[in-house]
Protein backbone atom coordinates (compact mmCIF):
# COMPACT_ATOMS: atom_id res chain seq x y z
CA UNK A 1 0.00 0.00 0.00
CA UNK A 2 1.27 3.45 -0.88
CA UNK A 3 1.66 6.30 1.61
CA UNK A 4 -0.57 9.25 0.75
CA UNK A 5 0.98 12.39 -0.72
CA UNK A 6 1.15 15.65 1.17
CA UNK A 7 -0.61 18.65 -0.36
CA UNK A 8 1.18 19.37 -3.68
CA UNK A 9 3.00 22.66 -4.03
CA UNK A 10 2.29 24.99 -6.97
CA UNK A 11 5.63 24.28 -8.66
CA UNK A 12 6.32 22.27 -11.80
CA UNK A 13 9.16 20.31 -10.18
CA UNK A 14 9.42 17.23 -7.97
CA UNK A 15 12.27 15.63 -6.05
CA UNK A 16 11.75 11.87 -6.41
CA UNK A 17 13.92 9.99 -3.91
CA UNK A 18 14.64 6.53 -5.31
CA UNK A 19 15.00 4.34 -2.21
CA UNK A 20 16.29 0.77 -2.24
CA UNK A 21 17.03 -1.64 0.58
CA UNK A 22 18.11 -0.31 3.97
CA UNK A 23 20.55 2.45 3.11
CA UNK A 24 22.02 4.19 6.13
CA UNK A 25 22.18 7.38 4.07
CA UNK A 26 18.54 7.61 2.96
CA UNK A 27 17.47 9.97 5.74
CA UNK A 28 20.38 12.33 4.97
CA UNK A 29 19.14 12.52 1.38
CA UNK A 30 15.57 13.19 2.50
CA UNK A 31 16.65 15.91 4.94
CA UNK A 32 18.57 17.68 2.18
CA UNK A 33 15.51 17.98 -0.08
CA UNK A 34 13.15 18.81 2.77
CA UNK A 35 15.48 21.72 3.70
CA UNK A 36 15.45 23.49 0.32
CA UNK A 37 15.42 27.30 0.45
CA UNK A 38 12.66 27.20 -2.18
CA UNK A 39 10.37 24.23 -1.42
CA UNK A 40 9.40 21.77 -4.13
CA UNK A 41 7.23 18.68 -4.35
CA UNK A 42 8.61 15.52 -2.72
CA UNK A 43 8.02 11.83 -3.37
CA UNK A 44 9.75 8.58 -2.38
CA UNK A 45 9.60 5.57 -4.69
CA UNK A 46 10.91 2.08 -4.03
CA UNK A 47 10.76 -1.50 -5.25
CA UNK A 48 11.74 -2.77 -1.77
CA UNK A 49 8.80 -2.04 0.51
CA UNK A 50 10.61 -2.08 3.86
CA UNK A 51 9.68 -0.65 7.29
CA UNK A 52 12.87 1.48 7.23
CA UNK A 53 11.68 3.30 4.11
CA UNK A 54 8.07 3.64 5.30
CA UNK A 55 9.16 5.05 8.65
CA UNK A 56 11.18 7.78 6.95
CA UNK A 57 8.32 8.58 4.56
CA UNK A 58 5.94 8.84 7.53
CA UNK A 59 8.34 10.91 9.64
CA UNK A 60 8.81 13.53 6.95
CA UNK A 61 5.23 13.29 5.61
CA UNK A 62 6.35 12.40 2.11
CA UNK A 63 4.25 10.33 -0.29
CA UNK A 64 5.55 6.82 -1.01
CA UNK A 65 4.96 4.78 -4.16
CA UNK A 66 5.90 1.10 -4.39
CA UNK A 67 7.10 -0.14 -7.75
CA UNK A 68 5.54 -3.51 -8.65
CA UNK A 69 7.94 -3.96 -11.59
CA UNK A 70 11.29 -5.68 -12.02
CA UNK A 71 13.14 -3.49 -9.53
CA UNK A 72 16.15 -2.89 -11.77
CA UNK A 73 17.77 0.53 -11.60
CA UNK A 74 16.32 1.45 -14.99
CA UNK A 75 12.85 0.27 -14.04
CA UNK A 76 13.00 2.17 -10.75
CA UNK A 77 14.08 5.39 -12.46
CA UNK A 78 11.33 5.17 -15.07
CA UNK A 79 8.81 4.40 -12.33
CA UNK A 80 9.94 7.46 -10.38
CA UNK A 81 9.49 9.70 -13.42
CA UNK A 82 6.08 8.20 -14.11
CA UNK A 83 4.86 8.80 -10.54
CA UNK A 84 5.78 12.48 -10.47
CA UNK A 85 2.90 14.77 -11.39
CA UNK A 86 5.15 17.59 -12.58
CA UNK A 87 7.00 18.10 -15.87
CA UNK A 88 10.44 18.47 -14.24
CA UNK A 89 11.85 15.74 -12.00
CA UNK A 90 15.09 15.38 -10.06
CA UNK A 91 15.77 11.67 -9.54
CA UNK A 92 17.55 11.67 -6.18
CA UNK A 93 19.96 8.84 -5.43
CA UNK A 94 19.48 7.74 -1.84
CA UNK A 95 23.18 7.83 -0.93
CA UNK A 96 23.65 11.42 -2.08
CA UNK A 97 22.54 14.81 -0.77
CA UNK A 98 21.60 18.16 -2.27
CA UNK A 99 22.59 21.72 -1.44
CA UNK A 100 19.78 23.66 0.20
CA UNK A 101 19.82 25.98 -2.84
CA UNK A 102 19.60 23.18 -5.43
CA UNK A 103 16.07 23.92 -6.59
CA UNK A 104 16.60 27.66 -6.36
CA UNK A 105 19.71 27.27 -8.52
CA UNK A 106 18.09 25.19 -11.29
CA UNK A 107 14.65 26.81 -11.42
CA UNK A 108 15.58 29.50 -14.01
CA UNK A 109 16.62 26.74 -16.45
CA UNK A 110 13.33 24.79 -16.34
CA UNK A 111 11.84 25.79 -19.68
CA UNK A 112 9.83 23.85 -22.25
CA UNK A 113 12.80 23.35 -24.60
CA UNK A 114 14.97 21.68 -21.93
CA UNK A 115 15.74 17.95 -22.19
CA UNK A 116 17.68 17.72 -18.95
CA UNK A 117 20.16 19.69 -16.89
CA UNK A 118 22.91 18.69 -14.54
CA UNK A 119 25.03 20.57 -12.06
CA UNK A 120 28.46 20.74 -10.53
CA UNK A 121 28.97 18.60 -7.44
CA UNK A 122 31.17 17.75 -4.49
CA UNK A 123 32.55 14.29 -3.82
CA UNK A 124 31.66 13.24 -0.31
CA UNK A 125 32.89 10.52 2.03
CA UNK A 126 32.30 9.92 5.71
CA UNK A 127 34.49 12.84 6.80
CA UNK A 128 34.60 15.56 4.17
CA UNK A 129 33.55 17.08 0.88
CA UNK A 130 36.22 17.30 -1.78
CA UNK A 131 36.93 17.48 -5.51
CA UNK A 132 39.03 14.89 -7.34
CA UNK A 133 40.49 14.89 -10.86
CA UNK A 134 37.36 13.33 -12.33
CA UNK A 135 35.22 16.05 -10.76
CA UNK A 136 37.43 18.79 -12.20
CA UNK A 137 37.59 17.25 -15.68
CA UNK A 138 33.80 17.03 -15.79
CA UNK A 139 33.59 20.76 -15.15
CA UNK A 140 35.91 21.42 -18.10
CA UNK A 141 34.08 19.09 -20.49
CA UNK A 142 30.73 20.62 -19.62
CA UNK A 143 31.81 24.26 -19.83
CA UNK A 144 30.27 24.83 -23.33
CA UNK A 145 26.88 23.72 -21.99
CA UNK A 146 26.85 26.74 -19.69
CA UNK A 147 26.27 28.91 -22.78
CA UNK A 148 22.61 28.92 -23.76
CA UNK A 149 23.34 29.53 -27.46
CA UNK A 150 25.30 26.24 -27.58
CA UNK A 151 22.95 24.03 -25.58
CA UNK A 152 20.90 22.87 -28.58
CA UNK A 153 23.86 21.95 -30.79
CA UNK A 154 24.29 18.20 -31.30
CA UNK A 155 28.08 18.37 -31.57
CA UNK A 156 28.30 20.30 -28.30
CA UNK A 157 25.95 17.93 -26.46
CA UNK A 158 27.83 14.87 -27.75
CA UNK A 159 31.21 16.53 -27.30
CA UNK A 160 30.71 16.77 -23.54
CA UNK A 161 30.25 12.97 -23.45
CA UNK A 162 33.02 11.83 -25.79
CA UNK A 163 35.76 11.37 -23.20
CA UNK A 164 33.60 9.59 -20.63
CA UNK A 165 30.39 10.13 -18.77
CA UNK A 166 30.77 13.78 -17.81
CA UNK A 167 27.34 13.93 -16.15
CA UNK A 168 26.96 13.52 -12.39
CA UNK A 169 23.78 11.45 -12.58
CA UNK A 170 22.30 12.34 -9.15
CA UNK A 171 22.59 16.04 -10.02
CA UNK A 172 20.24 15.66 -13.02
CA UNK A 173 16.79 17.11 -13.45
CA UNK A 174 14.79 15.74 -16.39
CA UNK A 175 12.00 17.28 -18.45
CA UNK A 176 9.89 14.17 -18.61
CA UNK A 177 7.37 15.58 -21.11
CA UNK A 178 10.10 17.07 -23.29
CA UNK A 179 12.00 13.84 -23.86
CA UNK A 180 10.95 10.33 -24.90
CA UNK A 181 8.79 8.00 -22.81
CA UNK A 182 10.06 5.95 -21.11
CA UNK A 183 13.18 8.03 -20.77
CA UNK A 184 15.59 5.20 -19.92
CA UNK A 185 15.64 2.50 -22.59
CA UNK A 186 19.18 1.16 -22.33
CA UNK A 187 20.23 -2.49 -22.46
CA UNK A 188 23.09 -1.65 -20.08
CA UNK A 189 23.19 -1.79 -16.29
CA UNK A 190 26.15 0.30 -15.10
CA UNK A 191 26.26 2.66 -18.08
CA UNK A 192 22.54 3.11 -18.66
CA UNK A 193 22.73 6.81 -17.75
CA UNK A 194 25.63 7.57 -20.12
CA UNK A 195 23.89 5.56 -22.85
CA UNK A 196 20.74 7.63 -22.33
CA UNK A 197 22.61 10.95 -22.39
CA UNK A 198 24.14 10.00 -25.75
CA UNK A 199 20.63 9.33 -27.09
CA UNK A 200 19.39 12.66 -25.74
CA UNK A 201 22.32 14.48 -27.34
CA UNK A 202 20.80 13.48 -30.68
CA UNK A 203 17.33 14.75 -29.73
CA UNK A 204 15.95 18.23 -30.34
CA UNK A 205 16.18 20.44 -27.28
CA UNK A 206 18.62 21.88 -24.78
CA UNK A 207 21.00 20.20 -22.39
CA UNK A 208 22.13 22.67 -19.72
CA UNK A 209 24.98 22.60 -17.25
CA UNK A 210 24.74 24.61 -14.02
CA UNK A 211 28.29 25.05 -12.75
CA UNK A 212 27.37 25.58 -9.08
CA UNK A 213 28.21 22.56 -6.92
CA UNK A 214 24.63 21.81 -5.90
CA UNK A 215 24.91 18.07 -5.29
CA UNK A 216 27.03 15.95 -2.94
CA UNK A 217 27.94 12.58 -4.47
CA UNK A 218 28.88 10.00 -1.88
CA UNK A 219 31.71 7.54 -2.45
CA UNK A 220 31.92 4.34 -0.41
CA UNK A 221 33.19 0.79 -0.82
CA UNK A 222 29.70 -0.72 -1.21
CA UNK A 223 28.68 1.50 -4.12
CA UNK A 224 27.46 0.04 -7.42
CA UNK A 225 30.41 1.66 -9.21
CA UNK A 226 32.95 -0.27 -7.16
CA UNK A 227 31.00 -3.52 -7.57
CA UNK A 228 30.75 -3.10 -11.36
CA UNK A 229 34.48 -2.40 -11.71
CA UNK A 230 35.33 -5.54 -9.77
CA UNK A 231 32.92 -7.70 -11.78
CA UNK A 232 34.09 -6.40 -15.17
CA UNK A 233 30.67 -4.98 -16.05
CA UNK A 234 31.98 -1.43 -16.25
CA UNK A 235 34.80 -2.38 -18.63
CA UNK A 236 32.47 -4.18 -21.04
CA UNK A 237 29.91 -1.38 -21.05
CA UNK A 238 32.48 1.40 -21.35
CA UNK A 239 33.91 -0.39 -24.40
CA UNK A 240 30.48 -0.35 -26.04
CA UNK A 241 29.80 3.30 -25.15
CA UNK A 242 33.14 4.58 -26.41
CA UNK A 243 32.44 2.73 -29.67
CA UNK A 244 29.23 4.77 -30.01
CA UNK A 245 31.28 7.97 -30.00
CA UNK A 246 34.61 7.10 -31.65
CA UNK A 247 36.27 4.85 -34.21
CA UNK A 248 37.41 1.45 -32.92
CA UNK A 249 41.06 2.54 -32.64
CA UNK A 250 40.40 5.69 -30.62
CA UNK A 251 37.81 3.88 -28.48
CA UNK A 252 40.44 1.25 -27.61
CA UNK A 253 42.95 3.94 -26.61
CA UNK A 254 40.45 5.70 -24.37
CA UNK A 255 39.40 2.41 -22.80
CA UNK A 256 43.03 1.55 -22.01
CA UNK A 257 43.34 4.90 -20.23
CA UNK A 258 40.12 4.28 -18.31
CA UNK A 259 41.39 0.90 -17.10
CA UNK A 260 44.26 2.71 -15.37
CA UNK A 261 41.80 5.13 -13.78
CA UNK A 262 39.48 2.38 -12.48
CA UNK A 263 41.89 1.43 -9.68
CA UNK A 264 41.38 4.83 -8.03
CA UNK A 265 37.72 3.94 -7.45
CA UNK A 266 38.54 0.70 -5.60
Instruction: Inform me whether the pLDDT recorded for 222 exceeds 80.
Output: no
Shared domain check, 101 and 60: yes
252 inside domain: yes
Instruction: Inform me whether the pLDDT recorded for 88 exceeds 80.
Output: yes
* pLDDT one-digit tens code per residue, 15-26: 999 999 999 999
Shared domain check, 165 and 64: yes
264 inside domain: yes
Q: Which of 201, 220, 239 is the last residue of a domain?
A: 220
Question: How many angstroms separate the CA atoms of 100 and 118, rounded?
Answer: 16
- Which structural domain, as residue segments, surrounds residue 164? 13-220
Shared domain check, 184 and 138: yes
5 inside domain: no
Total domains present in the chain: 2
Shared domain check, 191 and 173: yes
8 inside domain: no
Shared domain check, 178 and 144: yes
What proportion of the chain, given as a percentage, has pLDDT over 90? 80
Instruction: Inform me whether the pLDDT recorded for 216 exceeds 80.
Output: yes
Instruction: Inform me whether the pLDDT recorded for 1 exceeds 60.
Output: no
Question: How many angstroms separate the CA atoms of 60 and 162, rounded?
Answer: 41
Shared domain check, 259 and 207: no
Q: Which residue has the higher pLDDT, 169 or 219?
A: 169
Shared domain check, 75 and 194: yes
- pTM of the predicted structure, to 2 decimals: 0.93
In three state form, how does the secondary structure of the chain look?
CCECCCCCCCCCEEEEEEECCCCCCHHHHHHHHHCCCCCCEEEEEECCCCHHHHHHHHHCCCEEEECCCCCCHHHHHHHHHHHCCCCEEEEEECCCEECCCHHHHHHHHCCCCEEEEEEEEEEECCCCEECCHHHHHHHHHHHHHHCHHHCCCHHHHHHCCCCCCCCCHHHCEEECCCCCCCCCCCCCCCCHHHHHHHHHHCCCCEEEEEEEEEEEEECCCCCHHHHHHHHCHHHHHHHHHHHHHCCHHHHHHHHHHHHHHHHHHC
Shared domain check, 30 and 125: yes
pLDDT for the residue 251: 95
Beta bridge partners of 15: 42, 90
pLDDT for the residue 219: 79
4 inside domain: no
80 inside domain: yes
CATH number reported for the structural domain that contains residue 53 in this entry: 3.90.550.10
* pLDDT one-digit tens code per residue, 95-125: 999 999 999 999 999 999 999 999 999 999 8
Give residue 52's pLDDT band: very low, low, confident or very high (50, 70, 90): very high
Shared domain check, 123 and 42: yes
Shared domain check, 264 and 143: no
31 inside domain: yes
* pLDDT one-digit tens code per residue, 62-84: 999 999 999 999 999 999 999 99
186 inside domain: yes
Shared domain check, 226 and 164: no
Shared domain check, 165 and 149: yes
Amino acid sequence: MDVADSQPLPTNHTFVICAYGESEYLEDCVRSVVSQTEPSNLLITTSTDLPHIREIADRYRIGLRVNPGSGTMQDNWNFGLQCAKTDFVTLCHQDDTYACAYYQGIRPYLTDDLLYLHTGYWNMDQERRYRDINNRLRGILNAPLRIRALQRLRWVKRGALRFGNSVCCPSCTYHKTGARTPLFQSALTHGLDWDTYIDLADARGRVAYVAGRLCNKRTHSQSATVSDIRSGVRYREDRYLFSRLWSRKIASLLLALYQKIYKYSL
